[in-house]
Amino acid sequence: MTQTPLSYKDAGVDIVAGDALVERIKPLAKKTMREGVLAGIGGFGALFEVPKRYKEPVLVSGTDGVGTKLKLAFEWGMHDTVGIDLVAMSVNDVLVQGAEPLFFLDYFACGKLDIDTAAAVVGGIAKGCELSGCALIGGETAEMPGMYPAGEYDLAGFAVGAVEKSKILAGQNVKAGDVVLGLGSAGVHSNGFSLVRKCIERAGANAPATLDGQPFKQALMAPTRLYVKNVLAALAAFPTSPEAPTGIKALAHITGGGLLENIPRVLPEGLAAHLVKGSWPQTELFAWLQNTAGIDDVEMNRTFNNGIGMVVVVHAADAQACAAALRAAGEQVYAIGTIAPQGDGEQVVVA
């Protein structure tokens, strides 16, 4: 008996749709091009030349996803900003080493490719790259029937940056007396959404219509803030080195683990960050999450960024000028604490 031929499309993979998506992506990626790009989207591998202005370049890489925030994107049909989240989670991590993000690659996986949805997601990725001065030079779209429920997808990506070897930030110059500045977040960013979704479920019809002047859904889905350009400018204006240990000493991206677990990653042994409770405002969004979840301040500062998306540790003599420069660039800046000897306590104390 003659069997009916089976095509790849019959098996659930539409190569034509994939090709159409690539064509949609190309003009978006083109907007992100920068010095160093030799060959981008379309080849088997993207080519990038480290800019010649670097004398002793050290490459810094970071990778991440968006997490369960995607579940809300699926439920609410909000796909245009999760790509910004994807980029921000990696480039902000690269930034804290003092590095300039150079290029980004993404991985988009789904069960059945919806070109409009995928183009919206990649459009967000391109926007995030454009805002952070990072080239989108490649990626992968994987259509895998049976791996994902209808209408769902997963995202991952990675960024590569460069920093002069002599300017790597690793917290080595942090000293007691340094000031801790907090840069305001855009909202929840991309961590803690398993608890966020439980809060939404618990609130049900009693969820507020607005939070901090935004519609409820938009407030929760606000993309992770990109700190790259403003912080790089501050690093250039307030440099530090072992020979002149003033200026900016360390940076911490406040992601999973919140303030309590991320700040210690950039502190030398024997030092602690003493943060002043109430030195930065709690937004309506975080107040609602805390009240709905019924959790204490410690759990808030361990689960969420709680309003601070990036921490800057700076020499006390430069703190005021550094804060002013960052505010002038558009950041919300708060003096939230100081560095002190650790003693027998934790490396981050909020009191």
Determine the pLDDT at residue 298.
95
In this predicted structure, the answer to whether residue 22 has a pLDDT above a threshold of 90 is no
Which band of pLDDT confidence, cut at 50, 70 and 90, is reported for residue 1?
low
Alpha-carbon distance 213 to 114, whole Å? 33
Q: In the block, which residue shows the tokens 């250039």?
A: 236
Amino acid code (one letter) for 54:
Y
Determine the pLDDT at residue 272.
97
Q: For 62-71, what is each residue's pLDDT tens digit?
A: 999 999 999 9
> 248 has which bridge partners?
314
Lowest mean pLDDT, pick from 127-131, 139-143, 175-179: 139-143
Question: In Å, how far are 111, 163, 267, 279, 326 from 311, measured between CA atoms?
Answer: 39, 19, 12, 13, 12
Lowest mean pLDDT, pick from 25-39, 92-106, 150-164, 242-256: 25-39
Which domains can be identified in the chain, with CATH numbers?
15-167 (3.30.1330.10), 179-350 (3.90.650.10)
Residue 113 is encoded by which pair of tokens? 């490719």
Determine the pLDDT at residue 256.
93
Question: Strands across the sheet with 271-275, in order?
Answer: 248-253, 308-314, 179-184, 333-341, 271-275, 348-350
Closest CA relative to residue 204, chosen from 285, 137, 139, 292: 292
Closest CA relative to residue 153, chosen from 143, 167, 164: 143
Alpha-carbon distance 87 to 85, whole Å? 6
Express as a percent the part of the chain with pLDDT over 70.
97
Alpha-carbon distance 83 to 224, whole Å? 10
Across 268-295, average pLDDT: 96
Question: In Å, how far are 101, 180, 261 from 51, measured between CA atoms?
Answer: 12, 32, 34
Q: What sign has the CA pseudo-torsion 90, 125, 325, 279?
A: negative
CA angle 329, 224, 247 (to 5 degrees): 40
Whether 333 contacts 204, CB under 8 Å? no
In this predicted structure, the answer to whether residue 6 has a pLDDT above a threshold of 70 is no
In this predicted structure, the answer to whether residue 346 has a pLDDT above a threshold of 70 is yes
Across 171-193, average pLDDT: 96
DSSP for 53-115 reads: T-SSEEEEEEEEE-TTHHHHHHHHT--SSHHHHHHHHHHHHHHTTTPEEEEEEEEEEESS--H
pTM, two decimals, is 0.94
**Burial (CB count within 10 angstroms: exposed 0-12, middle 13-18, buried 19+), residue 132:** buried
Residue 200 is encoded by which pair of tokens? 């939404």
Across 302-328, average pLDDT: 97
Q: For 41-60, what is each residue's pLDDT tens digit?
A: 777 888 999 999 999 999 99
Alpha-carbon distance 310 to 334, whole Å? 11
